[in-house]
Structure formats: C-alpha cells, structure tokens
C-alpha cells in the first residue's frame, strides 16, 4: 500500500508540473522534494527508493546543468534537426512572413487564454457605414432583378453600374483622402453579405475591386504618382480594375507562371523608351471584360542588365491601361450560368514603359510578396462574406417557405426529414456568420490573418454549398424551376465557383490551412527554424537549447493536459462562461491540447516531408479549423449578451463542429505510420473513447422550430439580409406573409375539423370557407384571413413557365422583346 502511495505521489507531482508547464528546475525541485520526504520517512523501503533516486538522477542531472546539457544533448539534436529540416525557400519564407498570428496561435499552444478572446470586442459599423447600408446599399438591392441579369442581359443594367460608381461601391477600401469611402473590413463584409444574398453577379463585381485588385496593391506599394493618378479614378468608378494572376498552366501559383516580360528598349508614343516586352495568357480574370485598368503578374527578366546585375528578377506586377496596344481583352467566360464579368486577357509582344511597373523599379521582383500580403486580407473578407450572405438569405427563405408550404394539412417544416435540413441550415449559417465576422474584425485590428483567412475561405464556401443543397431539397420543385420566381437556383448553380476561386478548396484544405499554420502559428517551430539561421555557433546553440527544451516541455504538457482533460471532461481547465457555455470552453481546451500534441508528433514524424502528406495535413487543418470556428461562435454568443433563445442553435453548431474535430484527430491517429504507437496516442487523446456525438434529434427539433417563426433569434441569424417585400422579391413577400400564415393555422385546423365531421363538403377551398362561414363556423374576419393567406401562399409556391421562343431568345439579340415583357410583368 505504501509503495502504491509512493508511486502515486511521484507521478502526481510530475504530471502536475507537466500540466502547468513548469520549468525544468521547478520540476526537478518538486519531484526531488517528494522523494526526499519519503526517504526521510524510510518508506517504501531502500530498494524502491534507490531505484527511484537513480531514475530521477538519469533524468534530472542531464537536464539541469546548462553547459553539460547544451554540449551533450542539445548539440546532437541541433545537428540532426538541421539535416532533417529542408531549407525554406524564398517563396515559402515570404508566405510565412506575410501574415500575422491571432487567436489561432492560442489553439496551437494547447492552453487557449479565453479571456483574451472574449474580452476583445468585435468591431461594429460606424454611423456613416450603417447609413450607407440603409441608403445606397438598400437602393441598390431595390434595383436588382437577378433573372434579367442572368437570363437576358448576361451583365448588370447600366443604371446599376451608374449607381455603383456614383456611390463609391468600387472604392470602399480606398481612403477618403483619395475620394474613396474608407470603410472598415466589417462594413465591407456587411455590404457583400447583403448584396451577394441578392445577386452573386453583383456581389462579385463589388468584391473584386475591394479585395485582390490594383487598389489594395496601390495603397501598399504604389508610387506617389500612381496613387495620385489611379486611386481617385478607381474610387469614383472612372476606372474599373481587374487583376490578371491565373495563367493557363500554373493556376493561381504566381511562382510558376509562364507569363514573362523582358526588359528592353522600344518605341513608345514616338520615342525610344526603356520598358518591358510582355507575353502573357491569363484566364478566369473577374472584371476583365469591363476593366479599364489591368493589374498583371509576370516573371521579369533583364538579360541586358538594363536595371541591374540580376537577369531573373522574379515575379513582378504592372498596371496596364485597357487601350495598351497588343493586349486582347473583352471576351467572356460563362461560369456555370453566372454572368459576372469574367474572361481571358492575352498579349503577345506587348511593349509597356518601365514606369508601368506597380511601385516602380524598386518593387521589380517583389510581386510574390506583394500578392501574398494583399491576398491574406482579401481572402479573409470577400468570399466568406459573400458566402455568408447567400447562406443567410437561404436560411431566411427556407424557414419561411417551410412554414408556408403545406402537405398533408401541415407545414412541411414540421416533418422530421425537413427538420434535419432546417437544423443544418441554421447551424451552418450561425457558424459561417461568426467565422466571417471574427475574421473581418481581425483585419480591422490591423492583423493580416493568413491562416484564419484560409479557414474562412474554405469553410464558408463549403458550408454555404451545404446550406444551399439543403435549401434546394426543402424547396423541391420550387427550387429547380428557373425563372423570376426562383430565388435559389442561380446561387446553387454558382456554388462550385466560390469553391474554386481564390485558391481551390482542395488545395486550401490539404496544403494551406495547416501547412502555413504549423510553422507560422506554432509557439516554437518558427523560432527553431530561425535559430538555424544564426551564424554565431555559440549563440545558435544557446538559442536553440532554450527553444528546444521549451518545445519539449510544451509537447509533454499537451500530452498530459489532453489525457487529464479527456478523463475529467475538461473540468480542470480554467475557463470563462456561465452554466450554459462553460462546458463548451472545457471541450475546446481539451481538444486544443490534443490538437497541439498531434501537430507536434506529425511534425516530428514527417519532418520536412509533412507538406507532401496532404491527407494528414488536411485532417490537422480540419481540427484547427473547427476549433477556430467554435471559438468564433462562442465569442459571438458572448458579444451578443448570451441570448438564451439562441442557445439551441449555438449548441447544435458547436456539437457538429466538435464532432468533426474528434473525427479529424481520430483520422490522424488511425493513419499514423507506426501502428505500435497508435494505441498510446488513442489513450492520450481519447482516454475514455470517442465520446462526441452529432447533434441529437431533440436539439435539431428545437433549432428547426426557430426557423419557422419570426423571432429575435431568427432576426439575429439572418441579420443584414435584404428583406423588402417589393414586387419581384419573393423572399421579402414571404417574410411579410409569414405572421399571417401563423395566425391562420388555428383557423385552418378549425376548418379541417369541420371537414372531417362532415359539416363542410365543398370541392374547392373557397367553397369550403364559404360553407363554414354560412354555418357560423368561421367569423367574417377568419374567412377573409383564410382566403387571403390561401391566395398569397399559392403565389409563393408558384413556379414559372415559358414559351419555347422566349427561352430561345434569352441570350440572343432577339431577346429585347422578351426583356421588355419580363420588365412589364415585374
């Protein structure tokens, strides 16, 4: 018994030190004190004590004397580490340095400091920004007819283009000193959410100039002359920008593009001028068909040393006016029936003067850095915000439609199969909204959120596709019949576009999220790599020793925390929150430790080859993403004052995300290359098994019910959506009708009861209501309400039909008459 007590005391002391990540000297002193106490007591016997002291000495003696430790432990590890670590290329180094580290770094630490997250307020709209949303943005949405845009015009109407330019939509990120709106990232997000929910075509037109485009690049790198010339013209719409990055063989990988330019002398406007002769073939360039100024990425060569001694200067950016001789621009791609302006740009032997280089010759060869620094901001806002706007609109519409549309004398939203879809729509929309808001707020905090931006781009577009799929399923035939009455079809058609652009999602998931985060966000890996670059051997050894043993302590601490928090359901974690949310923070603290441990083990196991192990990287990226999304949801819940009515949606979304986290970590363990180590990893990460479950049916029922009735919760979920009930906007019409539909339901039940009793026997609904009124089964007001609701409900569920000639004329020059007829009908 004494022996067991002895072992328990030593183990508890060691684990406690590891759990709290104490320094080596503190661990040594604590364990030594326990051994000394038992030795003084003479228990549990000299044999056991001798073995214990010998084991303690084997560990403690080499770890504490710094000169000895550095010479005999750290130096061999340093040599091995230098051999197994591949040299970081200039391209990778630039990408790593481009972003900043936010709360995702806390998740890599294994012990997130939650108070730092929830006490930092999310940015809100200014009064000026809110006025813009309530005024010009609302007016813009009033002007939109997506069917006319997508079916007849394949472009925006001229009055919409004029409105965009007049009110500065294309220059929201341009500072006021240049005539722009100077809006925050959260305002940029709010505009895109509202507009993209109405029209993905219009959303794309607004998003591109305000994300990865000449304006963003000019603000950071342009010469004074370039800024003074272009920024005011971009702000008021005199110039429409596009940016040509994607080439035929290299996709969006700027480091591999075949487009090139050669520094030379040539004739420009009648004079011999130092310039560049370009050859390029770009495709998928949004706004290219209508752009007046083209940003271009290419590799620059200087064979005659006209700029310096370097021949291969590297990736370089330039600004070309549309009328540049030799540039072919104007043709269009047609991406999945979404007619946003998108097309190729081609040039052969195009000569431009040297002052067309963005930023001048000073930034020649710096294009990759310029792109990745700008892209991290644009990716964090444009697609996440647009996707969230589409999901919010689909959630609003589907909830209303599922209450209005009836089958078997009950709303289809009451069927359990439909409830499942409604719960997913609500949960995913809540998660996406929290994610996009947190990421946009990080931009307003001055961060360049490269890893959160990749998380937001991937998960917002993926979840949006799931929301639209469920919305289409609930709407059934209403969703698949295109026409003016269809508000989902074009969004569903376009969902794969947002999956593909700005870094295809397969690439983003398998290479970017964890691939960048593993080095950039880890508390020690980047410091270890930086230590390898130190030229002084002694300084390098001392620095590496300090970082190495901090890293070892970090890994041991994460392993202990993972197991302890797994066994205790996270009860030992110091977390904020109230009775409803504390359990969520505990789960996140537990899985943060598990994730950090497995990330370390993966990096130790695969070393520099980890970036080729894309499936492992993807699963670790999934775990990191879900932890980040959960933190965003909890932060949102806290910022909104912990509304009790929102609890079911938060709970559904959280359990779904934490179940994904569990599966991702389990997938890493199940595919670990050393089978003999898998049981140990399972014991540490899942000490009581895989206990997380998907949201249960009861919770899903509560969430679905919130989607079917007007409430503050439903308003918060769909905040920022365009809800006008003007003619031609069915979603707003449904919202106006919904309270009347709900008010009519008890009266409908009264009428149904009369039918079943044989008191009412009319063939049509109108006859049945008339008979019930004649027998005083219904009051005059009840009868009028039923007839009004019936008529308007049938208008809601109605679909379009066309003459064959009208369908043939949609995208042909003969379509003018059809367009006129459509406008008159609208």
Which DSSP string do the residues of 648-685 spell out, in sequence order? HHHHHHHHHHHHHHHHHHHHHHHT-S-GGGHHHHHHHH
Two tokens, residue 94: 């630039």
Tell me if 784 sits within 8 A of 446, measured CB to CB: no
**Buried residues in 112-146 as b, exposed as e (16+ CB within 10 A):** bebeebbeeebbebeeebeebbeebbeebbeebbb
Two tokens, residue 240: 């429409």
Two tokens, residue 374: 């700008």
- Please identify which residue in the block is written with the tokens 């110091």: 574
Cite the active site residues: 502
Instruction: Indicate left, alpha or beta for 721 from its phi (over 0: left) and psi (-120 to 50: alpha).
Output: beta
Nearest to 132 by CA among 161, 172, 177, 162: 172
Residues sharing a CB contact under 8 Å with residue 671, sequence separation 6 or more, in sequence order: 615, 616, 619
Q: What is the DSSP letter of 151?
A: I
- How many other C-beta atoms are found inside a 10 Å radius of the C-beta of residue 541? 17
**Buried residues in 260-277 as b, exposed as e (16+ CB within 10 A):** bbbbbeeebeeeebebbb
Residues sharing a CB contact under 8 Å with residue 373, sequence separation 6 or more, in sequence order: 98, 220, 448
Residues sharing a CB contact under 8 Å with residue 302, sequence separation 6 or more, in sequence order: 262, 263, 308, 310, 311, 313
How many whole angstroms separate alpha carbon 626 and alpha carbon 638?
18
Nearest to 426 by CA among 189, 623, 708: 708
């Amino acid at each position: 018994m004494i022996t067991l007590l002895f072992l328990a005391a030593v183990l508890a002391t060691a684990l406690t030190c590891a759990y709290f990540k104490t320094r080596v000297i503190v661990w040594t002193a604590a364990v030594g004190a326990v051994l000394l106490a038992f030795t003084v007591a003479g228990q549990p016997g000299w044999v056991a004590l001798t073995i214990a002291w010998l084991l303690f000495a084997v560990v403690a003696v080499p770890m504490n004397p710094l000169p000895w430790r550095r010479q005999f432990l750290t130096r061999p590890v340093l040599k091995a580490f230098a051999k197994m670590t591949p040299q970081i290329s200039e391209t990778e180094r630039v990408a790593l340095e481009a972003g900043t580290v936010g709360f995702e770094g806390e998740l890599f630490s294994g012990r997130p400091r939650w108070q730092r997250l929830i006490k930092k307020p999310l940015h809100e709209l200014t009064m000026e920004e809110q006025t813009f949303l309530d005024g010009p943005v609302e007016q813009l949405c009033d002007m939109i007819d997506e069917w006319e845009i997508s079916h007849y015009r394949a472009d925006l109407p001229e009055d919409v283009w004029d409105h965009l330019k007049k009110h500065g939509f294309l220059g929201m990120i341009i500072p006021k000193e240049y005539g722009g709106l100077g809006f925050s990232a959260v305002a940029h997000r709010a505009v895109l959410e509202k507009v993209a929910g109405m029209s993905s075509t219009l959303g794309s037109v607004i998003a591109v100039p305000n994300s990865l485009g000449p304006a963003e690049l000019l603000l950071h790198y342009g010469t004074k002359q370039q800024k003074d010339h272009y920024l005011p013209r971009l702000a008021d719409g005199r110039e429409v920008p596009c940016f040509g990055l994607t080439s035929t063989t290299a996709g969006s990988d700027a480091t591999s593009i075949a487009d090139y330019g050669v520094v030379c002398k040539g004739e420009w406007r009648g004079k011999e001028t130092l310039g560049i002769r370009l050859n390029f073939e770009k495709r998928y360039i949004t706004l290219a068909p209508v752009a007046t100024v083209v940003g271009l990425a290419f590799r620059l060569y200087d064979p005659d040393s006209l700029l310096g001694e370097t021949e291969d200067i590297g990736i370089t950016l330039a600004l070309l006016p549309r009328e540049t001789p030799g540039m072919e621009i104007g043709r269009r791609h047609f991406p999945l029936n979404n007619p946003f302006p998108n097309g190729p740009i081609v040039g052969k032997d195009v000569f431009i003067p040297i002052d067309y280089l963005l930023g001048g010759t000073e930034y020649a060869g710096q294009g990759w850095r310029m792109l990745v620094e700008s892209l991290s901001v644009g990716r964090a806002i444009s697609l996440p915000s647009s996707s969230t706007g589409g999901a919010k609109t689909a959630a609003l519409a589907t909830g209303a439609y599922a209450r209005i549309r009836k089958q078997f004398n009950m709303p289809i939203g009451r069927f359990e199969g439909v409830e499942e879809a409604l719960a997913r729509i609500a949960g995913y929309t809540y998660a996406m909204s929290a994610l996009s808001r947190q990421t946009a707020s990080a931009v307003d905090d001055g961060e360049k959120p490269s890893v959160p931006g990749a998380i937001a781009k991937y998960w917002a577009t993926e979840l949006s596709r799931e929301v639209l799929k469920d919305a289409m399923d609930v709407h059934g035939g209403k969703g698949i019949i295109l026409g003016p009455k269809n508000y989902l079809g074009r969004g569903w058609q376009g969902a794969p576009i947002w999956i593909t652009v700005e870094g295809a999602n397969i690439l983003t998931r398998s290479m970017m999220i964890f691939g960048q985060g593993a080095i950039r966000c880890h508390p020690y890996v980047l410091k270890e790599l930086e230590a390898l670059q130190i030229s002084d051997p002694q300084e390098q050894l001392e620095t590496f020793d300090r970082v190495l043993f901090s890293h070892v302590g970090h890994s041991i601490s994460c392993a202990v925390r993972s197991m302890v928090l797994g066994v205790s359901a996270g009860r030992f974690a110091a977390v904020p929150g109230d009775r409803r949310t504390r359990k969520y923070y505990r789960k996140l603290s537990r899985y943060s430790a598990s994730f950090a441990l497995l990330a370390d083990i993966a990096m130790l196991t695969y070393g520099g080859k980890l970036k080729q192990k894309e499936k492992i990287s993807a699963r670790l990226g999934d775990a990191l993403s879900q932890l980040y999304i959960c933190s965003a949801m909890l932060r949102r819940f806290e910022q909104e004052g912990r509304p009790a009515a929102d609890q079911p949606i938060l709970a559904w979304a959280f359990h779904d995300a934490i179940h994904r986290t569990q599966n991702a970590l389990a997938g890493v363990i199940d595919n670990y290359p050393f089978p003999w180590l898998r049981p140990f990893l399972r014991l540490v990460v899942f000490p009581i098994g895989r206990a997380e479950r998907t949201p249960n049916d009861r919770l899903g029922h509560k969430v679905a019910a919130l989607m079917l009735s007007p409430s503050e919760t439903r308003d918060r979920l769909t905040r920022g959506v365009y809800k006008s009930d003007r003619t031609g906007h069915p979603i707003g019409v449904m919202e106006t009708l919904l309270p009347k539909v709900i008010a009519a339901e008890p009266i409908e039940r009264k009428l149904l009861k009369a039918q079943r009793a044989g008191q009412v026997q009319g063939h049509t609904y109108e006859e049945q209501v008339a008979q019930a009124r004649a027998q005083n089964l219904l009051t005059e007001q009840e009868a009028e309400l039923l007839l009004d609701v019936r008529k308007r409900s049938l208008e809601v569920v109605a679909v379009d039909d066309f003459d064959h000639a009208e369908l043939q004329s949609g995208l042909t020059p003969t379509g003018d008459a059809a367009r006129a007829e459509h406008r008159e009908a609208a």
